Structure 1
């Protein structure tokens, strides 16, 4: 029988937390799901774990070369059979009724292509209250999402057709790939919200992207520049994107100058200056800016990998 929802968990060197995440899915009250785990080239023995091996009879586990969470999630969707997709990060947990309640929400709202639930935030083992800017809301949240990613990866449920038609996660982005995808989707779609805390979001551990990836705004700037090349933006939305892009570019450029990276600072200052003319049209310079930033990120990634060896 075709499942109602495909649950996808990407995992990299988090065997213990992964097992807990899987257990929270297998404990779901809704039976009509398939679980796909993508081991993103873990080196901590994840693929050899005996408990995980025993689970392979009931869930699908595939190991790929390490390419990052975007590629792992995309691979999971490529294997998915259901019309709905739900993602769960390997360090997060679901309440037992998460799928049941959200599937009911999607059935009751057939025009809703993407929805999420509320979350409980845990940091370093203690519950914390998210800042006001992280408060989830329903409807047209595109402009509000420009400064802060307002869709939680482990709480989202999306129609598979929409995910695939959007192009999925940008596999060249090693961070903020969720921010990038949700913004592209939110151009045309409102977000549904099931305002129940059905996800436990666990933070504070040292291997989180926010802890291991410096200057995350580099990736957000790239995502914003990509948006300006999209002709679907209304004039008001284009103006908002330009404003946030210029703001983030100038902040990041100041940091680059403090670290003596002058040539890179000049690129982001140039983008901030040029962006003033991009609020009315998708100018050819946007493509140049996107490629320059992609090239710079590739160089940074090479340097980072060398420093780790």
Structure 2
């Protein structure tokens, strides 16, 4: 059986998928299989996957990247899973370099190796000078602030992915942030400090830019985890304080833009927690489509 299962979700990105698959074909690590999960594309994306020799799984369009990736893992046969978004690229040594890290850290209880990305927008490199955070070991205190693990950089044990229940399938955005929180709460991670992934943005539609406010989705992802006390004791306080910080920041932004009712809802949430309540009303009503609210 293949050791690494590469899962590529796609929706109407045939030309970008062609390039992503070509970057997988060029991998120097050869013990792999490629699974393209087509989320109801209408532009021939599935046919591109088949032409490139990938195993293609077709599904009705859902627009939920977590669900699409989960379907891919359900069809995986490898002990390890790697994710690649259809608009990203891998350098030829990506998997080989990560496997070397994996083998070098064997026995340390590390289920995931991620790697450095090069960010590109419309063909130009985007500086990451301000991206300062811990990247390996216990990274939870940094992961709770923002998504510090790029899906296209990940190589991880399929067993652990399945034990954690995979990605949340009801979140349109920040499903990766939510999953990495649950994983880094329980496990240390390893990091390959080499730029082996190209994360691209361009003229094509991206879910992260649909609403213009990613942070509210992170609040939607984090709040249920805080309310349900899912985190280990050493991480609970950090998670709770970060949730309050995110709500306060969002409230200040809403107030600055004249959205006073919205600001009040987020501040009321903060006040409820400060009073010692274990749960507070969800403050995001009306900010996203009803179908996006968990």
TM-score when scaled to structure 2? Answer: 0.89
Which residue number corresponds to residue 16 of structure 1?
15
Distance 1:192 1:273 in 2: 37
Unaligned runs of at least 5 residues, structure 2: none
Distance 2:291 2:91 in 1: 39
- Residue of structure 2 aligned with 1:222, choices 213, 220, 223: 220
Distance 1:80 1:53 in 2: 16
Which residue number corresponds to residue 34 of structure 2?
35
Distance 1:238 1:7 in 2: 33
Q: Does 1:59 align with 2:58?
A: no
Which residue number corresponds to residue 248 of structure 2?
250
* Local SS of the residue matching 1:130: coil
**Over residues 112-156 of structure 1, what are the superposed CA-to-partner deviations in whole Å (9 max), with x where a residue is unaligned?**
101111122222201232133355621111001122211111111
When residues 70 and 219 of structure 1 are mapped into structure 2, their CA distance, relative to the original with a 3 A threshold, is: same
When residues 30 and 124 of structure 1 are mapped into structure 2, their CA distance, relative to the original with a 3 A threshold, is: same
When residues 245 and 6 of structure 1 are mapped into structure 2, their CA distance, relative to the original with a 3 A threshold, is: same
- Residue of structure 1 aligned with 2:69, choices 53, 68, 73: 73
* Local SS of the residue matching 2:2: coil
1:293 to partner: Cα distance:
4.9
- Aligned ranges for residues 85-234 of structure 1 at < 5 Å? 85-110=81-106, 111-133=109-131, 137-234=135-232
More helix by share: 1
* Local SS of the residue matching 1:62: strand
* Local SS of the residue matching 1:137: coil
**Over residues 248-294 of structure 1, what are the superposed CA-to-partner deviations in whole Å (9 max), with x where a residue is unaligned?**
112323444545472x544322221122256xxx92x25x54xx758
Which piece of structure 1 moves more, 119-128 or 20-29?
Answer: 119-128
Distance 1:170 1:269 in 2: 26
Distance 2:275 2:69 in 1: 36
1:85 to partner: Cα distance:
0.6
**Over residues 177-210 of structure 1, what are the superposed CA-to-partner deviations in whole Å (9 max), with x where a residue is unaligned?**
1000001111011110111211111124341223
* Local SS of the residue matching 1:149: coil
Q: Indicate conservation of the 8 Å contact 1:118/1:136, yes or no.
A: no
